Each structure stands twice: as structure tokens, then as C-alpha cells.
Chain A
């Protein structure tokens, strides 16, 4: 892709950012909103991470030491909700805000005021959710999957606030997705056909469609809960003729696409970074697009693999097993493409590349355990044990979160105009890479050995590896403070970045200067 760029510097005098707090409150600028999303998600990452530290501290040894079981359940619930809805998703939306308009050669997102709204309702959602910690009866304590009737008849009163918070998060996600779709569909630079779009744009286009499809389903589920709790309905109450399993079908019909929502943008990011640092065009662009589309479509027909033990009929178990195994095919294609891109490349290992490679390897390990979990008879043993915890943390932490960190290192010179400190970046990578494995790899073993998830205390045979896992978790938590330091240091100053930043970078965002001007592509570039 090549582009003709004109300089738009003269615009800055008229349309620069406002001063002070109002810049951030009233902003409709995609770069400002992207920054807000990224900082917000990092704050949530730290809060959710602190809760993980409480969990791992309690599990450091058998016996109850630090918190009560009741509070432990609140921690594991909020940790899950905050990491999913507060850390990973907003981080990807922040990246989309920063990058999608620049990548497609658009001046901004298509719906800038809605963009402002979709960000600014989020802090309220999480304020409401976190405030439940201080309510009588405590915060939600039923797990991030909030299965009824534990989350309805047996829930603490704060569940109503939780429901309201989820509604707000859903509204924010839907608005964000509409914005992404409208921008991509209508504001691409002349000449940029769909099959010429950068893969991050493709990954977000698909993600946005998934979000629009499933967020209303989640809203439906929590609304039914609200009705059961306050208005005397019995959607999920067996005593009133309702069906607790229905809740799980609805939840996972949202929940399974949701897990791909949290990984598809990572696929896009990894593709860009591996391509850049291999100095070689990405292998199999078209098959990458088709693989993502297949994964997205399959994600709608595999939800019941989360429910193999609820007593589904044999035919359903077989169908969901086969459909789930099928997902390994497009996922495999993506991994093979990344490896082949590196093959005969000319590779250097800057921090983003290290994170991207770790992403490919560790995400693949998470994929292997995912394949094992798909095998229904074996799942009867794995289900709801630490094996599952290990599996989804492998795809989410060294998967999604490593990809987000890779993205930050990769694009931060473009955002700030400064290079990050490469030595510190590598230190951050190696620390994170080693301890993330120390934390989560042993969890495969304690899960296979029979330790259920979501328990505050465990039998003695699980003690040793739980302790090691906890030590890993504390170190992982500490390593992320280093990340914060590196980012702040880069924002404050550093070696000036060139427009291209990286030797092998491709794409429109690298044609504008670093830092990217407040307004870019007010005249669309031409893509040949």
C-alpha cells in the first residue's frame, strides 16, 4: 500500500485541542478518545489486578488467612467483570479509536459525538459496579458468569446495581461498535477496497459486528434477571416454572462470541507487528480475513461447550463438540500464516515483536487446551477446574493482554512522537513472559489433579503449585508497574520518532508525522 500525503499542519492553529479538563470532557477527537479509553482500561487493569492479588494471596496456602469466603467470591466476580468489560474491551476500543481512522485514511470516526458519549458513560458503569463493594450485603458474589438462581433469588441486594452497570457497559460497547462499522464502511480513503484494508481494521470490523449481535443478548439476560428479582417473573426460577439452564444458554450465546471479541483485534495487531519486524509482507492476507470471519461465524454455534455438564441430550453434546473442534482449523491457519511470515524474513526483536511472538506461542498453548476442553468426555473431568482457569488465562493474559501491550509499544512512538526506552521495554517483556508462565502453567496441573475453580480454600495436595502460582502472580502484578513507568516516561519525552518509526512498517498511519497531528487526513490520501 502506498499513499500520497499532504501536510495539514496549517489546520492545527485553528483546530488544536482545547485547554484543561474540558479538552477531555468535551472532546470529539478520535485520538483524544482513544487516549481516554486506553488510560481508563489501564486503571481498570490495575484495579482488577489488585483483586487478583487478593485472590492469589488467599490461595497462597491452604486454609483461610486473609479474607472470608464471602469476600473472596466478591473478589473473583469483580476481577472477572472488570478485566473483561473494563480492561480488555476498552483497551481494544481505545486502539480502534486511535488507529482505525488513521489506517483507513479518515479524518476522524464517523460519529464523533457518539464516540464521546460511549466513552464517558463507561466510568459511571464501573463506579456503580465498584460502589457495590461498600453496600450492605457486599458486591456481586456469583462469578462473572452470574448463573441464576445464585445471581437472582440468592444474590445480594447489590445485584440490581450490577445489572444497571452491565446495561451501561453494553450501551457503550454497542455505540462504539456502530462507530467502528460506520467509519470503516463509509470513510475509507479512495482506492482502499475491503480486501486492501489493514488486518487490524478487518479484525475490528468483524469484532464490531459480533458486539452488535451479542451485547443486546446480554442486556436481555440481565433484564430478565431484573424482572425475576423485582417484578415477580420466573424466567430462571424453577419453583415458578422457569428454567435455570435457559439462563446459561442465553449467557453463553453472548459469552462465546464475547471471548472472540476479546481475541480478534489481537489477531489484527499480531499480524501487523510480525509483518513489520519480519520485514516481509504478511503471508496469506486473504486467508487471514477468511479465518477471522469463519471464527466469528462459528462462535455463534459453539456456546454450549461451556455447558457440557448441564445435562444436554447426546445429540447436542455431539454437535457442540464437533463444531467447537472445527474452530481449530481457522485458528490453525492464522498461526501457520504468522509462522510462515517469519520464515525467510529479516527479523529483529524489538519489544513489540517479542510480545507478538510470545502472543503467538502462548495463545497457541491456550488453543491446545481449548481443543482438549472441546472433547466432551474429557471435559467432564476438566470442567470448572483450574485446567479451565489456566486455559482462559492463557488466551486472555499472554493472549489479549500481551497483544495490547505489543500494540502500545508498537504505536506509542506514533502517538507521542517519542521512542519508548527499549532496554526497559525488553525488561518488562522478559519479566512478564517468565512470570505469566509461572503463574498460569502450574494451574493446568492442579486442575487436572482435581482442584475446582472458584474456591477460597483447597485440599492439601494442591498446596505446592498454588504457592508457586501465587508467587508468579505477585511478580506479574509488580511487572505491570514497570509498564506504567515506561509509558509515562515515553509520554514525557524520549528519542524523537520518525514518521515511519519502524524500518519495515507498512500502512497509512506511518505516513503522517510522529506524533500524529491532532487532525490527520482532512483530505483523504489515495491508495493504489
Chain B
């Protein structure tokens, strides 16, 4: 696990200190606080945060002030004979009651804001958010739009082989798009383990839990691209499943919805097409790199003991039916999830074909390919 530890650590330390003293780190104090966000609720939450913060600062100044005064004024040198008092009912009563009143003062606005956050009546647009290891699925319930949102940061950037981009670890292939000024309701759940959908600018953080649907809502007035993250440890790539929301005008939103519908239609046409092995393999490689490498690795060999080896696996070599079944249904009790809803028929067929062709599998096994129609066939109800 400790690969090239010493040399790279030396280099890291060196470059580290250079950045430390040359960068503009102190220019960005504003970035060290909670975001105010872009919704009425997020601004209220921010105000609440600052209110409590300043109350704590004032209490701290008073208490630590008295403490530091005592530390300097009552040293053994300056005060050789200590006082002998050791209780005072009035004082003790006061410092029980006064903090209690301060707490009540804090609890009132906090309870009000919380009540507002919990007003989750029907939204104008309802989006189901589903957490997967390690990506998000978004389903627009009214418009029948359905897509997955994956991290696009290159693994070469993560492993320091290429320079890191501006939105390192905060960029996805497809952002959630919502219009300004509409009440958007998110219905949040998960497919495998618990995830948590966090969008700091909306002050929404809601756990995505298998078997539960949690709700959260927002109304955003400023168009823009907002970035958040998964905040519940969900396995190996927990740090690599960002949330990106793109807020657009109503017109742009309508156009986007139309685009998505057209794309779905084109995909249906692709399913009908006759595919060659080369076409499938080429398309499949892209799908594989996006969806499978996290566990099965680029070389198909997985990680011993956790993620199975695909290069030379019996199923991948010789058992086409079981191969399809595993991808469609997942494997009970293992990390392998069902990809039936994540991949179109075309993508499903191409990725299976890719694994059956790559890493010498075509030569070592039966080399049978899977075409989109096989998947359509599989999906038909069985008698």
C-alpha cells in the first residue's frame, strides 16, 4: 500500500512548503466561513450560524477574561494567602439561570428556521435523487428524464500525473438542471449504502438511505453553477462523488428538457441498429472506464479479496447468460450493484462485449458478444 512512499513524500514536502509560503492563502479569509448561499433559507441558516458564533465569542471573552485575570493576578507571588470561600448559592444560581435564558434566546430563531425547512409541501418540479456507489442518479418525475451524474476529474489528475483543473473533484459529466424561482423538491434515497446529498449554497444536506425517501426543497433565485458533495462515508470512492446543480432561466430549462427527450428518442433508435464487434468494443471501453474501473480496475484484475478479477474470469470467458444476469441484477451480498437502470441497452451490451473482448478474454474464452437486442430480450417478462 505504501507505494514509492519516501521519495514522493520528500517531493511532496518540498513542493508543499513552496506553495505554503508563496500562495495567497491569507487573501481568502472569506472562504473560511460558511457560505451564505443563494436561497432565503440558506441566508437564514447563515445568520443563525453567525448569531450563535458571536454569542459564543462574547461568552468566551467574559469567561476566559476572568480566568486569565485570575491567572495573572492571583499567582502565589502576588497573592500568597488564598481566600477560603468555596460556595455561594446566589452566584451558582445566577450562572445556572443566565445561560439557560441565553439558550432560550438562541433556540427560538433556530426552531423557527427549522420549521420553515420542514415545510415540504409538493414542489413545482419533483426530482428523485438516488445515491449509488459512487455517483448520483437524478429522475425528473414529471418529465420522465433520468440520468446519472459521474465525477469527470481524470484519475491522472487525482494521482498527480497531470495538473489539477479549476474544479478538481467538483465537476461532473451531467449536472442537475433546475429553473430559477420554482420550488424544487428533492426526493432523496439510495440504492446500496447510505450517502448524503449536500448542496451548501441551498443549505440542504439530507441523507440518502436505502429503503427511505427523505425530502428537501429549495427555491433558487440566482442562475449559476453550484457545487456540493457526498457527506456520508459510503465506501472507497466517497470522496469522489460530487453534486453539481446548474440553475438556469425558465426558457433555458424548457429547452434542456426538450433536448433530453430528443436524446432518449435517439437512444431508442440506436438499440435497433446492427452493431459490429469493433463498434461495441469501442463504445464499451468508454462505459467501462466511467462505471467499472473504480472496482475492477483498468486492467480488469480488480482488487484481490474485494473486487473480482474479470480478466480470465469463467463467467466473462464462457457464460454469456450469467454475464448479462450479473450486470442486470447485481450480486446479492456483494458490492456489485445492478446496472439495469444505470445503463441503456446499448451501453449495457457494449460494456459486456468490451469485457469479453479485452485483456485477452476473446482469445481465452468463447468470444461471444452481446448486442443491444440481447438486453431488450433479457428485459422482457419471463414466462
- Chain A, range 375-389, C-beta contacts under 8 Å to B: 375-378, 380-381, 383-385
Q: Which residues of A contact B16 (CB under 8 A)?
A: 60-61, 467
Q: Which residues of B contact A128 (CB under 8 A)?
A: none
Q: Are A280 and B82 in contact (CB under 8 A)?
A: yes
Select the stretch in A104-112, A159-167, A411-419, A455-463 that faces chain B.
A455-463
Mark each residue of chain A from 420 to 462: 1 if its CB lies under 8 Å from any CB of chain B, else 0. 0000000000000000000000000110111011111111110
Complex-state Cα separation, A448 to B231, whole angstroms: 13
Q: Are A371 and B52 in contact (CB under 8 A)?
A: yes
Complex-state Cα separation, A461 to B35, whole angstroms: 13
Q: Which residues of B contact A449 (CB under 8 A)?
A: 31-35
Q: Are B71 and A378 in contact (CB under 8 A)?
A: no
The yes or no answer to A21 lying at the interface (CB within 8 A) is no
Q: How far is the CB of A280 from chain B (nearest CB, A)?
A: 4
Q: How far is the CB of B10 from chain A (nearest CB, A)?
A: 11
Select the stretch in A170-178, A258-266, A336-344 that faces chain B.
A336-344
Q: Are B87 and A467 in contact (CB under 8 A)?
A: no
The yes or no answer to B382 lying at the interface (CB within 8 A) is no
Mark each residue of chain A from 329 to 357: 1 if its CB lies under 8 Å from any CB of chain B, else 0. 10011011001101111111100000001
Complex-state Cα separation, A317 to B8, whole angstroms: 47
The yes or no answer to A49 lying at the interface (CB within 8 A) is no
The yes or no answer to B92 lying at the interface (CB within 8 A) is yes
Mark each residue of chain A from 451 to 489: 1 if its CB lies under 8 Å from any CB of chain B, else 0. 011111111110111011000000000000000000000
Select the stretch in B60-68, B256-264, B270-278, B340-348 that faces chain A.
B60-68
By beta carbon, the residue of chain B nearest A335 is B63
Q: Which residues of B contact A381 (CB under 8 A)?
A: 34, 45, 49, 200, 203, 205
| Count of inter-chain pairs, beta carbons less than 8 A | 311
The yes or no answer to B326 lying at the interface (CB within 8 A) is no
Q: Are A66 and B52 in contact (CB under 8 A)?
A: no
Complex-state Cα separation, A365 to B61, whole angstroms: 11
Q: How far is the CB of A72 from chain B (nearest CB, A)?
A: 9
Q: Are A365 and B60 in contact (CB under 8 A)?
A: yes
Select the stretch in A113-121, A283-291, A513-521 that faces chain B.
A283-291
Given contacts A63-B160, A457-B239, contact A468 B20 (CB under 8 A): yes
Q: Are A455 and B115 in contact (CB under 8 A)?
A: no
By beta carbon, the residue of chain A nearest B306 is A137
Select the stretch in A7-15, A180-188, A306-314 that faces chain B.
A306-314
Q: How far is the CB of A14 from chain B (nearest CB, A)?
A: 43
By beta carbon, the residue of chain B nearest A468 is B20
Candidates B48, B168, B239; contact of A460 at CB < 8 Å: B168
The yes or no answer to A328 lying at the interface (CB within 8 A) is yes
By beta carbon, the residue of chain A nearest B161 is A63
The yes or no answer to A282 lying at the interface (CB within 8 A) is yes
Complex-state Cα separation, A99 to B127, whole angstroms: 60
The yes or no answer to B380 lying at the interface (CB within 8 A) is no
Q: Are B210 and A344 in contact (CB under 8 A)?
A: no
Q: Which residues of B contact A156 (CB under 8 A)?
A: 305-306
Given contacts A62-B164, A73-B236, contact A375 B33 (CB under 8 A): no
Mark each residue of chain A from 56 to 98: 1 if its CB lies under 8 Å from any CB of chain B, else 0. 0100111111111111010000000000000000000000000
Q: Are B211 and A285 in contact (CB under 8 A)?
A: no
Select the stretch in B100-108, B245-253, B281-289, B356-364 that faces chain A.
B100-108
The yes or no answer to B230 lying at the interface (CB within 8 A) is yes
The yes or no answer to B19 lying at the interface (CB within 8 A) is yes
Q: Are A378 and B92 in contact (CB under 8 A)?
A: no
- Chain B, range 171-221, C-beta contacts under 8 Å to A: 192-194, 196, 198, 200, 203-207, 209-212, 214-215
Q: Are B103 and A325 in contact (CB under 8 A)?
A: yes
Given contacts A138-B306, A243-B211, A314-B118, contact A450 B86 (CB under 8 A): no
Q: Which residues of A contact B196 (CB under 8 A)?
A: 309, 383-384
Complex-state Cα separation, A232 to B161, whole angstroms: 45
Q: Can you list 7 A-B pairs with a CB-CB distance of less than 8 A?
A: A63-B158, A66-B3, A154-B235, A239-B211, A329-B100, A339-B67, A449-B33
Q: Besides A73-B236, A329-B96, 7 other CB < 8 A contacts?
A: A283-B86, A284-B92, A321-B110, A345-B79, A345-B83, A377-B114, A457-B169
**Leading 4 A-B pairs by shortest Cβ distance:** A238-B211, A455-B239, A136-B305, A311-B214
